[in-house]
Amino acid sequence: MSLSDLVLSIADNKQMLGLRYAEWATRAPSLEADIAAAAMGLDDLGHSRVLLGCLEPLGEDPRGQERETDSGSLRSLPYFDEPWTEWAQFVAANAILDTAFTVMIEACVNGSVEVLQHRLRKMLMEERYHFLHGRSWLKSGINAEPLNRAWTEAIEWFGPPDGEVALLHREGKLSLGPKELQARLEEQLETKAPKVEVDWKGWDPVRRRSKPGAIDEHTFSMLRGLEEKKFAPTSAQSKEV
Amino acid sequence: MTRYKRVSGDAVEYEVFARKTRGEPLHQVGSVVAPDDDLAVAYARATYDEERWIEMAIVRKDDIIELWQPGEP
């Protein structure tokens, strides 16, 4: 594990967050919320691309060929494996997971690595609106289940007290370690996280998750451009062959 | 005169103002409906951020003091 691995994890999670937001662009409780879902989706997809662009300057690109064929090689959290069926899932992801990614980006911007300091700063400005949106909907009250799940996955994603994020913090590359990241997330959301017991022995340090599994087949096909090809004219398809 | 209001329940209507240069005044670009200021800010940015505004502000419609309305002398 390295800083590049962490940046790739943020990028993959933001890509999936953006896609899941976009799925709610016509299903949210109001027209304004529809538009916000679309706008936040676009933001997070853009952020993902910026993060991927940081891998080369960081000196190491951990993306392998397996990403083209194996959905299990993507580094997104289990929360994004399946499309959300309830608005409460959207809100919990928006308030807790999106903010968790933002506090990690803050830790990158305030750390010692120049390329992250410069390239990620603008994201923090855009994320302010995601945060206001998520926190406001969270205050209106949602089911405990998606909320607890989002908290658990956020804390797992920050990593163990003696893991790579803690090491990057000690080296100064990140301004916050796992404990500080959780405290910052709680401070931002003005609430305490539920008690989460993580069995770090079963935790995957590359995908930063404990639960096995991967994103659904349709979404993976879409990411690979295969869904798009279904709508291409027959002549265009035959030319490719 | 009955005026159309698109709010319901706890939601409040906010007017959105913006400008592109320092030299021009803020002008109304639209409105959003939201239950609180934070969400109204997020909605205004999501809905009206397509253009390159240098400033955007929102105000609760109920806080606007009208001097007169269309059709009044």
B-chain residues near A139 (CB < 8 A): 36
CB < 8 Å to B33, chain A: 30, 32
Answer yes or no: is pLDDT of B3 > 70: no
pLDDT at A227 over 90: no
Which residues of chain A neighbour B41 with C-beta distances below 8 Å?
Answer: 129, 132
pTM: 0.89
pLDDT at B66 over 50: yes
Residue labelled with tokens 């994201």: A123
pLDDT at B9: 65
> Confidence band (pLDDT; 50, 70, 90) for B39?
very high
Helical residues (DSSP H) of chain A, grouped into ranges: 3-23, 31-53, 55-58, 87-92, 98-109, 114-119, 121-139, 144-158, 164-170, 178-189, 217-223, 226-229, 234-240
CB pairs A-B closer than 8 Å: 46
Q: For B15-44, what is the mean pLDDT?
A: 95
Q: Is a pLDDT exceeding 80 seen at residue B16?
A: yes
Interface test with A, best of B10, B32, B45, B48 (most A CBs within 10 A): B45
A190 lies within 8 A of chain B by CB: no
- The pLDDT confidence band at residue B5, using thresholds 50, 70 and 90, is low
Q: Stretch A205-216: mean pLDDT, rounded?
A: 95
Chain A residues whose CB is inside 8 A of the B36 CB are 136, 139
CB distance B46–A130 less than 8 Å? no
- The percent of residues above 90 in pLDDT, for chain A, comes to 88
Question: Are residues A241 and A40 in contact, defined by beta-carbon separation less than 8 angstroms?
Answer: no
Q: According to the model, what pLDDT value does residue B1 have?
A: 44
Taking the C-alpha atoms of residue A122 and residue A147, their distance in angstroms, rounded to an integer, is 28
For A111-120, write each residue's pLDDT tens digit.
Answer: 999 999 999 9
Query: What are the chain A neighbours of B49 within 8 Å (beta carbons)?
Result: 39
A140 touches chain B (CB under 8 A): yes
Residue A92: partners with Cβ closer than 8 Å, 6 or more residues away = A138, A142, A146, A147, A149, A150
Report ipTM for this prediction: 0.81
One-character DSSP codes across B21-49: STTSPPEEEEEEEESSHHHHHHHHHHHHT
**Given CB atoms, is A52 within the 8 Å cutoff of chain B?**
no
A38 contacts chain B (CB < 8 A): yes
Q: Which residue has the higher pLDDT, B66 or A51?
A: A51
Summarize the confidence of residues B21-33 as an average pLDDT. Answer: 95
The predicted structure's pLDDT at residue A240 = 54
Calculate mean pLDDT across residues A140-155.
Answer: 94
Cβ-defined contact of A35 to B35 (cutoff 8 Å)? no
**pLDDT the model gives residue A236:** 60
pLDDT at B50: 85
Q: What is the pLDDT of residue A238?
A: 56
Higher pLDDT, residue A234 or A189: A189
